[in-house]
Chain A
Amino acid sequence: MRHLMSPLDFTTGELDKLFDLANDMEKHMERYAHICEGKKLATCFYEPSTRTRLSFEAAMLNLGGQVIGFSDAASSSASKGESVSDTIRVISCYADICAMRHPKEGAPMVAAQRSSIPVINAGDGGHQHPTQTLTDLLTIRSLQGRLSGLTIGLCGDLKFGRTVHSLIHALSRYDDIHFIFISPEELRIPDYITDMLKAKGIPYEEVIRLEERIPSLDLLYMTRVQRERFFNEEDYVRLKDFYILDMAKLSLAREDMLVLHPLPRVNEISVEVDDDPRAVYFKQAQYGVYVRMALICTLLGLA
């Protein structure tokens, strides 16, 4: 029995299979509409995350399965002091597969150790959010046609951004990748990531301004620069506009560049960009459903 704890749990070969399946589901939804009939997904969300939970639930419903679960710790037995280990042993009696989000890092791994059904980590604190990374990879592969030979710009909060760190690790397994990190000094990519890239011989650049390198990108992954991350208000005010993508900045980019964002977006991408064909962040949310469908089928041994 397999679980999904980290995006690196699958080899690149296994990911190719998963993404092929997701693409086939995208094209032939009707073929998969009953594949999970009689199966139940438990969404155990110890902290609210409407987007991720609904994406999992939509995925299971698309496959003809059913969904049970809870959407915050207050409505679960955790409020009575039940451990994760005990909860998952009970959930294992009720459902066939479980997606778990928990504010404590490593909680889904504890669940996986005690579970008799596959457990998917649906986000554990600031640690991992593997289905977001799989979503990002599927979006890139589907819309750019490949995961190798890409120049990828990551923009915004690169210091604390969990999705960014996971994506870099996941992409660093492919050939001929070139990263361009675009962030203010305060929110630079951590050393342990750049050390990993150096060790693997993967080229990267660090720049302050988005305009500098946007013309060379195949892909721009935007994240939010949050006010509370700055030491003082002046720096925030001085720098925040550097990291807002608007049409003026996008006009410098290539016609085939893609703009991705894990969402929710606040103001880091102007709404005027939304109608540009390069803005694919809402398609990305759709790919999130396909990849979760493929994942559920794969972990249930139905694919």
Chain B
Amino acid sequence: MLNVGQIEEGFVLDHIRAGMSLSIYHHLQLGKLDCTVAIIKNARSNKMGRKDILKVECDINTLNLDIIGFIDHTITVNVIKDGKIVEKRRLSLPKEIKNVIKCKNPRCITSIEQGLPHIFVLADPQKEIYRCKYCEEKYRENHNYNLF
């Protein structure tokens, strides 16, 4: 078993679907932060068989985790302070997501306009429905949306 050291302050994102950790690393823009990040891929899990884990050593007020709520709200977010878990944070759906998924509607202006960010807005929080800000096309999870 691989050992990765404890962190003093930061986040441990557990129960990430195997193979998804790099996508989350990308969307949290961890590459831009000057902090220690451990990416554990394909760890054994009783619950999931295989899972990914991300450990991020950072000030707990610096990271906006909303986007994880959109990608997979079943991920466990442990908030670490002084080497201990101080909170298991519930993930909520972000009101707006920018450049995470691409609109698939071929009639949408995003299909031709250069440099236009792909923005989806939370149209119905109860039913967890996101719509393209421009054409209002509904995001459908099983339609293989291109992730950025």
B-chain residues with CB within 8 Å of residue A84 when the two chains form the complex? 109, 113
* Cβ distance A274 to chain B, nearest Cβ, rounded Å: 34
On whether the beta carbons of B107 and A105 are closer than 8 Å, the reply is yes
CB <8 Å contact, B113 and A105: no
Selecting from A106-114, A179-187, A262-270, A275-283, the interface stretch reads A106-114
Interface size on A, residues (CB 8 A): 15
Specify which chain A residues have a CB less than 8 angstroms from the CB of B137 in the assembled complex: 105
B135 touches A127 (CB 8 A): yes
- A85 pairs with B116, CB closer than 8 A: yes
Bound-state Cα–Cα, A102 to B113, Å: 12
Quick check: is A65 within 8 A (CB to CB) of the other chain?
no
Q: Taking the complex as formed, is B87 at the interface, i.e. its CB lies under 8 A from any CB of chain A? A: no
Would you give the shortest CB distance from B29 to chain A, in whole angstroms? 23
B145: chain A residues at CB < 8 Å are: none
B115 cross-chain contacts in A, Cβ below 8 A: 83, 85
Residue of B109, B116, B133 contacting most chain A CB atoms (<10 Å): B109
Are A105 and B133 interface neighbours, CB within 8 A? no
Within 8 Å CB of A48, what residues of B? none
Query: A85 vs B110: C-alpha distance in the bound complex, in angstroms?
Result: 12
Say yes or no for A161: interface residue by CB 8 A criterion: no
B134 contacts A109, CB within 8 Å?
yes
Judge if B108 is at the interface, Cβ distance under 8 Å.
yes
**Residue of A84, A105, A110, A124 with most partner-chain B CB within 10 A:** A105
A72-120 at interface with B (beta carbon < 8 Å): 83-85, 102-107, 109-110
| B116 A105 Cβ-Cβ under 8 A | no
Instruction: Report whether B134 and A105 are in contact in the complex, using a CB–CB cutoff of 8 Å.
Output: yes
Point out the residues of chain B lying under 8 angstroms from A126, CB to CB. 107
Is the CB of B136 closer than 8 A to any CB of chain A?
A: yes
List B contacts of A104 (CB < 8 A). 107-109, 111-113
Tell me the smallest distance from the CB of B14 to a CB of chain A, in Å: 37
Output the least CB separation between A47 and chain B (Å). 12
In the bound complex, what is the Cα–Cα distance between A109 and B135 (angstroms)? Answer: 9
Q: Decide yes or no whether B105 CB sits under 8 A from chain A.
A: yes
Residue of A nearest to B134 (CB): A106
The answer to whether B107 touches A85 (Cβ under 8 A) is: no
Question: Could you tell me if A106 and B110 are in contact, using CB atoms closer than 8 angstroms?
Answer: yes
Residues of A within 8 A of B110 (CB): 106
Chain B 95-122: CB-based contact to A (< 8 A → 1; otherwise 0): 0000000000101111111111000000
Most buried by B among A103, A104, A107, A126: A104
Closest to B135 in A: A105
Chain B, residue nearest A81 (CB)? B114
B53 interface contact, C-beta 8 A: no
Q: Does A215 contact B (CB under 8 A)?
A: no
B112, A109: Cβ atoms closer than 8 Å? no
Whether the Cβ atoms of A85 and B105 lie closer than 8 Å is no
Chain A residues contacting B108 (CB-CB under 8 Å) are 104-106
Query: Does A64 have its Cβ within 8 Å of any Cβ on chain B?
Result: no
Chain B residues whose CB sits within 8 angstroms of the CB of A105 once the complex forms:
105, 107-109, 134-137
**CB within 8 Å for A102 and B109 given contacts A85-B116, A110-B116:** yes
Q: Could you tell me if B134 and A110 are in contact, using CB atoms closer than 8 angstroms?
A: yes
A76 to chain B, nearest CB (A): 14
Question: A109 CA to B109 CA in the complex, in Å?
Answer: 9
Residues of A bordering B, CB below 8 Å? 83-85, 102-107, 109-110, 124-127
A-B contact pairs, 10 of them (CB 8 A): A83-B113, A83-B115, A85-B113, A85-B116, A104-B111, A104-B113, A105-B135, A107-B134, A125-B107, A127-B107
**Which 4 residue pairs are nearest across A and B when measured between Cβ atoms?**
A106-B134, A105-B135, A104-B109, A106-B109
